[in-house]
């Protein structure tokens, strides 16, 4: 149960050491900087003030973004080779020397990033240009038959009209209609360039002196001029457009090639991005420091075990003045959990709920045992457990550099897998009843794998009782945690009132219930509980009940206190539902086994021949992978639920704040000490 003890550290140092000290702290990642607000300092502030580093930070963050989009562009031209397991490999470590090199090269790399981004933009612009040109080309298509400029309006003595009618017309029809509209105008010539449904592109020529009359008549027929007439003959214009499109395409290719030529510098770019985010982190802290002309003051939290070494290093190497003190009673301390090999993996589960609040202990050590046991019981298949442990075990052995949180999750499932194996053997489930089925169908042998304990499907009542028993142990463990927490704060009476009485009441009632003949008959039990034990249990239950009524409302007075006490006793119903809730151990355990059986049976539908074997293998693989995944999910969710709702409900509220030390919050690389 280890919530790491926190100390407050005060560092006063000369400004000429500021850079070195901050960089050292950032690499070590052991101090959470927590600077007092101006108001709380008051008169003590003296010549100290804060520096505004917001603009510098913004520049760094902009660079991070710039490089981010550069890498994105780069990746679309030269996709990096990523293996499926990249996630497991973790970030590559880099040392201080490499960081120094990056710092020197950073401006140049930022320029490359800017160049890549500019090239990416050029590609986008050219693509838009191509789309525009292609639209023009499309508009020109109906006019391809025309061999003069589309802007021709006539010669000295003729007028020319080039445009479209909103219907399908032939040259003859145009002429007939014009003649009908202008019976006294001779010599109008019409030529159709192209027709499409609802559009006719036409060329009309007439004598110059009747031009305006003809134009008016044409308008009456719905004639319009094209929106963008080309100066050159359409065919020539189309060639020009094609050439421009080709040029744009070549430009895109060139830009693409240039972008791809930076592929070798991807690492450098990512590295520089990390470098800039590191500097942004640093400047954020820098802006938080109180500084006088020559001195700066840094304060924050440090884990107690790390404090002496840090103090020595700061004092000896950087001539700083360091004070380490125990934080004041009222301070809201950040929480860091520390647990051993077996319990640490469930820290993530606790964090998913909430970190321990003030006065609360770290429940990891108690919780992990129950977590593994309950999980195993819900999945309860030896083969599935073996597969889980095998996969996570291989990952843990092979990928040493895996991220810490992922490593913990893997280890958690490794232990869950072991527990699943254990329960699977007890209940005699190996891929459901696969061994029996295979032996029976393909070898004609009548094998039946005997469970080490009993088969849940044959005796569900027995497993249910056992589930309730586990539940009661789990809940009582939660109650014990409550007692421990209260006693640690010296509240012995509260421990008795809020937990002790419940032990008596619930424990007594359970023993009394079990000793009933009716209950034993119903559950098929034969326990000989002597009557005296039953009587003692009932007496205890009565004391518990009276105690609860008397003390639950102890903050109030008079009748209100009595009513609150009665309401407290009503809490016994929540105990009932809490215990019943553990029946999900039975339900989920059966679900795994039965579905596995269903798949095994489906697999044997084609009998024992070669076809049957093939079918069995296919159904077996697909079915069991599916079943494993679904029940893995179910077991995970419901184990969490039993921990969060039933177990934590007895003693744990959470609300702690996570310890977040000043560190290099990098995305792609890990900064190492050496």
Partner 1 sequence: MFDWTTMGIVFALLGAVLAALMGGIGSAIGVGMTGQAAAGVVTEDPSQFGKVLILQLLPGTQGIYGLLIGFVTLTQIGVLGGSSDISLAKGLLYLAACLPMAIVGMVSAKWQAKAAVSSISLVAKRPDQFGKSMIFPAMVETYAVLALLISILAITSIGSIQV
Q: Is 584 in the site for partner 1 (CB under 8 A)?
A: yes
**Of 41, 601, 606, 613, which lies in the binding site for partner 1, with binding defined by CB under 8 A?**
601
DSSP string, 502-541: HHHHHHHHHHHHHT-HHHHHHHT------HHHHHHHHHHH
Burial 166-193 (b: 16+ CB within 10 A, else e): eeebeeebbeebbeeebeebeebebebb
Q: Cα(103)–Cα(197) distance, rounded to whole angstroms?
A: 67
As measured in angstroms, the least distance from the Cβ of 387 to partner 1 is 19
Residue 33: CA count within 13 A, CB half-sphere:
21
- The footprint of partner 1 on residues 421-480 (CB under 8 A) is 457, 460-461, 464
Distances from the Cα of 496 to the Cα of 294, 511, 575, 626, angstroms: 58, 21, 18, 49
As measured in angstroms, the least distance from the Cβ of 335 to partner 1 is 15
Report the residue number, 411 or 638, with the smaller CB distance to partner 1. Answer: 638
* Backbone Cα Rg of the chain: 41
Residue 416: CA count within 13 A, CB half-sphere:
25
Q: Is 640 in the site for partner 1 (CB under 8 A)?
A: yes
Binding residues for partner 1, rule CB under 8 A, total 31
**Of 6, 349, 434, 504, which lies in the binding site for partner 1, with binding defined by CB under 8 A?**
349
Token look-up 């450098």 returns 268
- 662 close to 273: Cβ distance less than 8 angstroms: no
Report the residue number, 351 or 653, with the smaller CB distance to partner 1. Answer: 351
Q: Cα(34)–Cα(659) distance, rounded to whole angstroms?
A: 11
Burial 320-340 (b: 16+ CB within 10 A, else e): bebeeeeeeeeeebbbbbbbe
Q: Is 671 in the site for partner 1 (CB under 8 A)?
A: no
Report the residue number, 302 or 350, with the smaller CB distance to partner 1. Answer: 350
As measured in angstroms, the least distance from the Cβ of 549 to partner 1 is 29
Q: Which stretch binds partner 1 (CB under 8 A): 267-275, 442-450, 546-554, 632-640?
A: 632-640
Element (H, E) at 59: helix 54-77
The first and second tokens of residue 290, run together, are: 């109180």
Q: Cα(272)–Cα(668) distance, rounded to whole angstroms?
A: 10
Q: Is 549 in the site for partner 1 (CB under 8 A)?
A: no
**Of 580, 614, 617, 622, which lies in the binding site for partner 1, with binding defined by CB under 8 A?**
580
**Of 144, 207, 590, 663, which lies in the binding site for partner 1, with binding defined by CB under 8 A?**
590
Q: Which stretch binds partner 1 (CB under 8 A): 27-35, 279-287, 504-512, 580-588?
A: 580-588
Q: Cα(615)–Cα(611) distance, rounded to whole angstroms?
A: 6
The first and second tokens of residue 624, run together, are: 């069991």
Q: Which stretch binds partner 1 (CB under 8 A): 132-140, 406-414, 440-448, 629-637?
A: 629-637
Report the residue number, 461 or 525, with the smaller CB distance to partner 1. Answer: 461
As measured in angstroms, the least distance from the Cβ of 595 to partner 1 is 6
As measured in angstroms, the least distance from the Cβ of 353 to partner 1 is 5
Report the residue number, 208 or 649, with the smaller CB distance to partner 1. Answer: 649
Q: Is 503 in the site for partner 1 (CB under 8 A)?
A: no
Report the residue number, 546 or 601, with the smaller CB distance to partner 1. Answer: 601
- The footprint of partner 1 on residues 351-380 (CB under 8 A) is 351-353
> In this structure, what DSSP letter does residue 232 have?
S
Q: Is 1 in the site for partner 1 (CB under 8 A)?
A: no
Element (H, E) at 47: none
Element (H, E) at 359: none
Report the residue number, 465 or 529, with the smaller CB distance to partner 1. Answer: 465
**Of 587, 613, 615, 663, which lies in the binding site for partner 1, with binding defined by CB under 8 A?**
587
Report the residue number, 311 or 597, with the smaller CB distance to partner 1. Answer: 597
As measured in angstroms, the least distance from the Cβ of 354 to partner 1 is 8
Report the residue number, 102 or 467, with the smaller CB distance to partner 1. Answer: 467
Q: Is 586 in the site for partner 1 (CB under 8 A)?
A: yes
Report the residue number, 263 or 630, with the smaller CB distance to partner 1. Answer: 630
As measured in angstroms, the least distance from the Cβ of 493 to partner 1 is 33
Report the residue number, 335 or 588, with the smaller CB distance to partner 1. Answer: 588
Q: Which stretch binds partner 1 (CB under 8 A): 97-105, 270-278, 527-535, 585-593?
A: 585-593
As measured in angstroms, the least distance from the Cβ of 437 to partner 1 is 13
**Of 583, 608, 613, 615, which lies in the binding site for partner 1, with binding defined by CB under 8 A?**
583
Burial 370-409 (b: 16+ CB within 10 A, else e): bbbbbbbbbbbbbbbbbbbbeebbebbeebeebeeeebbb
Report the residue number, 388 or 495, with the smaller CB distance to partner 1. Answer: 388
Alpha carbon 504 to its chain's center: 45
**Of 597, 600, 604, 666, which lies in the binding site for partner 1, with binding defined by CB under 8 A?**
597
The first and second tokens of residue 86, run together, are: 């990249």
Strand partners, 192: 202
Burial 438-469 (b: 16+ CB within 10 A, else e): bebbeeeeeeebeeeeebbbeeeebbbbbbbe
β 6-14/321-325 pair status = antiparallel
Helices (H) and strands (E) in the chain, counts: 24, 12
Token look-up 């308008």 returns 219
As measured in angstroms, the least distance from the Cβ of 378 to partner 1 is 11
As measured in angstroms, the least distance from the Cβ of 248 to partner 1 is 32
Report the residue number, 42 or 444, with the smaller CB distance to partner 1. Answer: 444
Burial of 650 per CB tally in 10 Å (0-12, 13-18, 19+) = buried
Q: Which three-class secondary structure state does DSSP give residue 325?
A: strand
The residues that touch partner 1, with contacts defined as CB under 8 A, are: 349, 351-353, 457, 460-461, 464, 580-581, 583-584, 586-588, 590-591, 594-595, 597-598, 601, 630, 633-634, 637-638, 640-641, 644-645
């Amino acid at each position: 149960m280890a919530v790491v003890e926190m100390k407050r550290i005060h560092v006063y140092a000369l400004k000429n050491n500021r850079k070195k000290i901050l960089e050292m702290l950032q690499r070590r990642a052991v101090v959470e900087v927590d600077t007092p607000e101006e108001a709380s300092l008051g008169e003590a502030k003296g010549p100290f003030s804060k520096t505004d580093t917001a603009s510098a930070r913004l520049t760094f963050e902009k660079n991070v973004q710039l490089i981010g989009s550069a890498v994105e562009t780069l990746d679309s031209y030269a996709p990096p080779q990523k293996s499926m397991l990249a996630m497991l490999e973790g970030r590559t470590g880099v040392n201080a020397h490499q960081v120094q090199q990056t710092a020197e090269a950073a401006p140049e790399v930022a320029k490359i990033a800017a160049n890549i981004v500019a090239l990416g933009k050029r590609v986008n612009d050219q693509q838009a240009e191509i789309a525009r040109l292609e639209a023009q080309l499309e508009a020109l298509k109906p006019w391809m038959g025309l061999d003069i400029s589309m802007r021709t309006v006539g010669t000295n003595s003729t007028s020319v009209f080039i445009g479209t009618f909103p219907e399908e017309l032939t040259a003859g029809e145009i002429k007939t209609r014009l003649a009908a509209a202008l019976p006294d105008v001779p010599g109008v010539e019409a030529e159709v360039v192209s027709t499409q449904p609802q559009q006719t592109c036409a060329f009309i020529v007439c004598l110059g002196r009747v031009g305006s009359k003809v134009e008016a008549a044409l308008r009456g027929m719905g004639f319009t001029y094209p929106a963008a007439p080309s100066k050159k003959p359409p065919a020539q214009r189309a060639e020009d457009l094609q050439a421009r499109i080709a040029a744009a395409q070549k430009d895109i290719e060139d830009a693409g090639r240039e972008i791809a030529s930076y592929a070798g510098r991807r690492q450098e770019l990512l590295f520089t991005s990390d470098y800039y985010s590191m500097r942004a982190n640093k400047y954020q802290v820098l802006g938080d420091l109180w500084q006088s002309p020559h001195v700066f003051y840094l304060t924050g939290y440090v884990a107690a075990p790390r404090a002496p070494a840090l103090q020595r290093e700061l004092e000896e190497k950087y001539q700083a003045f360091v004070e380490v003190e125990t934080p004041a009673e009222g301070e809201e301390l950040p929480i860091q959990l520390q647990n051993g090999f077996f319990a640490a993996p469930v820290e993530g589960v606790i964090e998913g709920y909430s970190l321990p609040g003030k006065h609360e202990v770290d429940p990891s050590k108690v919780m992990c045992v129950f977590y593994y046991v309950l999980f195993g019981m819900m999945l309860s298949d030896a083969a599935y457990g073996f597969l889980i442990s095998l996969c996570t075990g291989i990952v843990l052995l092979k990928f040493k550099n895996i991220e810490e949180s992922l490593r913990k999750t893997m280890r958690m499932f490794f232990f869950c897998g072991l527990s699943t194996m254990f329960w699977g053997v007890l209940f005699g489930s190996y891929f459901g009843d696969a061994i029996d089925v295979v032996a029976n169908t393909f070898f004609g042998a009548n094998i039946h794998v005997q469970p080490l304990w009993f088969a849940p499907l044959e005796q569900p009542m027995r497993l249910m009782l056992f589930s309730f028993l586990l539940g009661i142990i789990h809940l009582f463990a939660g109650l014990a945690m409550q007692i421990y927490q209260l006693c640690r704060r010296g509240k012995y009476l509260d421990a008795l009132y809020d937990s002790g009485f419940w032990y008596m009441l619930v424990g007594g009632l359970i023993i009394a219930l079990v000793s009933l003949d009716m209950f034993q008959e119903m559950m098929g039990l034969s326990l000989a509980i002597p009557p005296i034990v039953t009587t003692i249990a009932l007496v205890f239950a009565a004391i518990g009940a009276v105690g609860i009524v008397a003390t639950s409302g102890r903050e109030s007075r008079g009748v209100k206190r009595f009513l609150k006490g009665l309401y407290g006793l009503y809490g016994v119903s929540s105990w009932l539902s809490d215990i019943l809730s553990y029946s999900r151990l039975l339900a989920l355990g059966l679900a795994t086994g039965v579905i596995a059986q269903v798949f095994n049976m489906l697999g044997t539908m084609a009998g024992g021949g070669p076809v049957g074997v093939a079918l069995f293998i296919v159904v077996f693989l697909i079915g069991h992978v599916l079943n494993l995944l679904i029940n893995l999910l179910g077991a995970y969710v419901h184990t969490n639920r039993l921990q969060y709702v039933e177990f934590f409900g007895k003693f744990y509220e959470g609300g702690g704040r996570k310890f977040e030390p000043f560190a290099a919050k990098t995305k792609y690389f890990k900064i190492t000490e050496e």
